[in-house]
A and B are shown apart, each in its own frame.
Chain A
């Protein structure tokens, strides 16, 4: 089944403890991106990747890192999480560059930073 998977789905952590949220797609998509969703603010893009080894900042990249070593995986890294990073995170992918093709979203990761 064609899908985008994220792990973990739920995570409660403490300030400063490094964490990684994984994202994987099995559709051979070139474009992948990360979003955070907060009430009243909608979905805001954190980072995106046009292809392997090509990543760029979205609107809210501060406090996050990403890597794209393989086409199918696009992990989101929080080196030193803070409470203001408590949010619902979505990974998405599309066949080609994001503005043209349908975005396929993962199920979401709900992160709480205490």
Chain B
């Protein structure tokens, strides 16, 4: 079945450093979504990418969808302590949804 591998599992950065998490699939994805889960909280939607090669930005966050629609990345420029949490990618089609394993970001002030 479809699998989505997400790396790295953990990342510790100094405040102000950049951060990137990657999701890779063995099959072509129809779309990919990104979610953030704060410590003790629930996942919250960030963005959805649909088109091949698509790039979207939200302030310091940049999301990319690969040309072959098999991979995606989330890049945070100049991390802040408010960026702490776990970032998940999500893909699926009509019903069955697959989450990446998540990347937990720790930011040292």
A61 to chain B, nearest CB (A): 11
* 20 pairs from A and B in contact (CB 8 Å cutoff): A31-B95, A33-B97, A41-B101, A42-B99, A43-B102, A45-B97, A48-B95, A48-B96, A59-B96, A97-B93, A97-B94, A98-B92, A98-B94, A99-B93, A99-B97, A100-B31, A102-B45, A103-B33, A103-B45, A103-B97
Contact between A103 and B31, CB atoms less than 8 A apart: no
Chain B residues within 8 Å of A, Cβ to Cβ = 1, 6, 9, 30-31, 33, 35, 41-45, 48, 88, 90-102
Checking A31, A33, A90, A99 against B30 with a beta-carbon cut-off of 8 angstroms, the contacting residue is: A99
Instruction: Enumerate chain B residues within 8 angstroms of A43, measured Cβ to Cβ.
Output: 43, 88, 99, 102
Checking A40, A56, A99, A104 against B101 with a beta-carbon cut-off of 8 angstroms, the contacting residue is: A40
With A99-B31, A105-B44 given, can you name 5 additional A-B contacts, CB distance below 8 Å? A40-B9, A42-B101, A43-B88, A97-B93, A99-B93
Instruction: Enumerate chain A residues within 8 angstroms of B93, measured Cβ to Cβ.
Output: 97, 99
* Interface size in chain A (residues, C-beta < 8 A): 27
Q: From A104, which residue of chain B is reached at the shortest CB distance?
A: B45
Q: From A99, which residue of chain B is reached at the shortest CB distance?
A: B92
